């Protein structure tokens, strides 16, 4: 967004994007505990949010790393002693995650050790060459889906994935499911159907769309 303020701290419908995201998990009956990973410069401000919103489930506030995988690893390490627990990773920049999605992700962990959220792509996708200016291939979109979050794992599964990944000199991070797919390939990654409104904030225009969705939801609850 080319803004000095991280997008997670921008205001939408009376709260920051981050507060809306935490609210979704705080209010969900299947979530026992919340850990938030963020830049060290914003830890103090976030602790104010805990008091302001009277969050009872936020038990850990962790310092993130320079790379996204380092932030994920901070959360994984915080639960190192609980290999049988379920760990659910969510982008703070997706504040409209629904109760239905969270519930289905948690429930899917009863049968699978790795779960993600995705929606089928409606656009034709191009695979491009190294210059990114020429089409190399046009994959069949029937086999393509757009990844969302949350992504969820048995703790021991994602711990094993990262343990092996960090020993690989050529390790390249895509997302946490990518770590499991490459380094724990025997694990099937189950897909929960996502939603278009479970969007990730990327552009300023997205804030207007989020505001519309929040107002629409509030109006529906009022009626």
Give the CATH number of the domain where residue 214 resides: 3.90.550.10
Q: Above 50 in pLDDT, residue 222? A: no
pLDDT over 90 percentage in the chain: 83
Structural domain includes residue 162 = yes
Span 9-22, mean pLDDT? 93
Q: Above 80 in pLDDT, residue 31? A: yes
Span 146-154, mean pLDDT? 97
- Global pTM reads 0.91
E-assigned strands of the chain? 11-12, 15-16, 34-38, 58-63, 86-89, 114-120, 127-128, 135-137, 145-154, 189-193
Q: What is the mean pLDDT of the chain?
A: 93
pLDDT over 70 percentage in the chain: 95
Structural domain includes residue 2 = no
DSSP letters for 83-117: TTSEEEE--TT-TT--HHHHHHHHHHTTT-SEEEE
Q: Residue 223's pLDDT band (boundaries 50, 70, 90)?
A: very low
Q: Residue 203's pLDDT band (boundaries 50, 70, 90)?
A: confident
Structural domain includes residue 223 = no
Q: Above 50 in pLDDT, residue 135? A: yes
The pLDDT value given to residue 19: 96
What residue numbers bound the domain in which 71 lies? 7-218
Q: Residue 119's pLDDT band (boundaries 50, 70, 90)?
A: very high
The pLDDT value given to residue 202: 87
- pLDDT tens-digit readout, 161-191: 999 999 999 999 989 999 999 999 999 999 9
Structural domain includes residue 147 = yes
Number of folded domains in the chain? Answer: 1
- pLDDT tens-digit readout, 40-56: 999 999 999 999 999 99
């Amino acid at each position: 967004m080319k803004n000095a303020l991280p997008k997670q701290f921008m205001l939408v419908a009376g709260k920051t994007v981050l507060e809306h995201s935490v609210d979704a998990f705080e209010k969900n009956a299947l979530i026992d505990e919340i850990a938030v990973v963020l830049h060290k410069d914003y830890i103090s401000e976030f602790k104010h949010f805990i008091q302001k919103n009277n969050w009872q489930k936020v038990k850990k506030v962790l310092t993130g790393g320079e790379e996204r995988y380092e932030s994920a690893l901070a959360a994984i390490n915080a639960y190192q002693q609980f290999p049988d627990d379920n760990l659910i990773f969510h982008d703070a920049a997706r504040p409209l995650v629904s109760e239905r999605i969270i519930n289905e992700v948690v429930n899917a962990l009863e049968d699978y050790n790795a779960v993600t959220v995705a929606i089928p792509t409606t656009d034709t996708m191009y695979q491009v060459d190294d210059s990114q200016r020429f089409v190399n291939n046009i994959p069949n979109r029937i086999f393509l889906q757009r990844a969302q979050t949350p992504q969820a794992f048995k703790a021991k599964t994602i711990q094993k994935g990262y343990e092996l990944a960090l020993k690989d000199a050529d390790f390249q991070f895509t997302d946490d499911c990518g770590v499991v797919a490459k380094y724990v390939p025997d694990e099937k990654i189950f897909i929960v159907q996502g939603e278009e409104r479970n969007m990730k904030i990327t552009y300023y225009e997205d804030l207007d769309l989020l505001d519309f969705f929040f107002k629409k939801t509030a109006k529906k609850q009022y009626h």
